[in-house]
Structure 1
């Protein structure tokens, strides 16, 4: 399996399909690169070099005790881009991965990144504070930490329901998606998964968004129960200089069904423009 070595020596797994202009996909918590397989194939089928990596502590990447923070995640992504010597690069990030690609593009990507796409992404910042009074209370994230420590196997099964909107009346529930969420979640190490809760909830990406100099497509499900759109996309679009906001009516946090098909088409259109 292909790996790159991060600045601190950690081994970061990646996979790539197809040939052409490079596009890197960054996954959400607590998943892995495999959650992007449909999009990887779509991009490869359309003439792109589609790449996805497992964030440290997740999937097949090394389960490090240290370095589970956003600056290190972005440095790991930089190591991947530099090792593969990618230019004209587009980045696509979901949820926590949306924060990762925004930070990388703003702080490391000059001369390499041409476009950014986020979907259900955590920027600008999730947690409530004096500066962000509309955010989610820290108690909600403390509750997530407690569940992950107590019984993360059951928690991944429970979390999959609001993640994909399967707790909504009339939702067409896919047991397969629930099982996949559980499987990929269980591949994440406890330390990395636990530390990442602080990362996705407390990292402030405000300055990163302001400093982006490339076009960004900010995509978000209207019924996202994990990263509410009013606390994320609607604020992020006001901070970027070259942004396009795309809202998917009734769509959940997890990318599936009609939302997945529409997002795929929108990514292709945005990259081709």
Structure 2
């Protein structure tokens, strides 16, 4: 494990596991941490891939007292880590809010990008507008944040219980909840930023292969939103996980890993 200094002496936490295969960078969702990827990391390493995980500003083992915890700032950290490690044409995999992060990181990486995986990715928009009829509203987001301000453990427990549609067992729900509780107060600003950004103009510029992995019963990022986004990419494939919620890698891990490894195999080293 290691830390990368990214701003005014403040650091983000990362792990880099060497491998001869295509490098993969895993970016977690809002208020979570890199431990959510444990089974995914194991499968990628077994297949020979280089694997890097990063924890957002104000999440997990990264410093909590960043001033800027926006999507753009976190995407900048992903880019800085790719450059710091000298990764060549990595595949970025973003879960939930991490999906918006990797879209912005992909825009900045330009030609040094091998592919994208959106795991219930909250992109191109998380909230609905007149011309994007999917998701909730910024007021809904503010309601969640108000709940955190009044009762952080209770609100995060409710969110943790809503992540999965399939039964995953109390230990998994507990792990999600405890990860949420590790996040700092500035993580609220990250979610608030997600409620405002619009990445629709970016998607058509991303010419790399894209894999969209989404649960049909996702209660945070509607499946119909992901399906609508598929046509915005020049080269994208959508995989639907029936009966699955917001975390297909936890709810149907075997299928998830098969799809992910198959996508990487098609890309080559």
- Aligned equivalents of 2:134 and 2:87: distance in 1? 38
TM-score by length of 2: 0.93
For residue 227 of structure 1, report the CA deviation from its aligned partner.
Answer: 1.2
What does residue 170 of structure 2 align with?
175
**5+ long unaligned stretches in structure 1:** 166-170
Within the alignment, does 1:83 sit opposite 2:84 as a pair? yes
Structure 2 residue aligned with 1:168: none
Q: Tell me how far apart the structure 2 counterparts of residues 256 and 114 of structure 1 sit (CA, whole Å).
A: 21
Tell me what 1:125 maps to.
Answer: 125
Does residue 27 of the first structure (1) align with residue 22 of the second (2)?
A: no
CA distance in 1, matches of 2:43, 2:14: 17
Residues 13-45 of structure 1 show CA distances to partners (whole Å, capped at 9, x for unaligned) of: 101234123110000111011110110111011
The reply on whether 1:240 has 2:240 as its aligned counterpart is no
In the alignment, structure 1 residue 57 sits paired with structure 2 residue 58: yes
8 Å CA contact 2:167, 2:251 repeated in 1: no
**The residue matched to 1:202 in structure 2 has which SS?**
coil
Aligned to 1:156: 156
Indicate whether 1:42 and 2:43 are aligned: yes
- Describe the superposition over 1:222-258 as per-residue Cα deviations: whole angstroms up to 9, x where unpaired: 0001111113x11210210011111111111023555
The offset of 1:137, in angstroms, is: 2.3
1:124/1:235 contact within 8 Å kept: no
Matched residue, 2:223: 229
* Corresponding residue pairs, total: 265
- Contact 2:135–2:221 under 8 Å retained in 1: no
Aligned equivalents of 1:257 and 1:25: distance in 2? 15
The change in CA–CA distance for 1:258 and 1:226 in structure 2 (over 3 A counts) is closer
SS at match of 2:220: coil
Q: In the TM superposition, what is the alpha-carbon distance from 1:147 to its structure 2 partner?
A: 1.0
Match status 1:261 vs 2:254? yes
Q: 2:183 aligns with which of 185, 188, 205?
A: 188
d(CA) in 1 for partners of 2:25, 2:8: 21
Report runs of 4+ in structure 1 exceeding 6 Å deviation. Answer: none
Give how far 1:172 is off: 3.1
Cα deviation for residue 213 of structure 1 reads 1.5
Instruction: Establish whether residue 102 from structure 1 lines up as the match of residue 103 from structure 2.
Output: yes
Normalised to the residue count of structure 1, the TM-score between the two structures is 0.92
Choose which of 211, 217, 220 in structure 1 pairs with 2:211: 217
| Structural RMSD (CA) | 1.6
Q: Which residue of 2 aligns with 1:139?
A: 139
Q: State whether residues 11 and 63 of structure 2, in contact with CA within 8 Å, keep that contact through their aligned partners in structure 1.
A: yes
Q: Secondary structure at 2:248's aligned position in 1?
A: coil
**Cα 1:9/1:44, change in 2 over 3 Å:** same
Q: Are 2:242 and 1:249 aligned?
A: yes
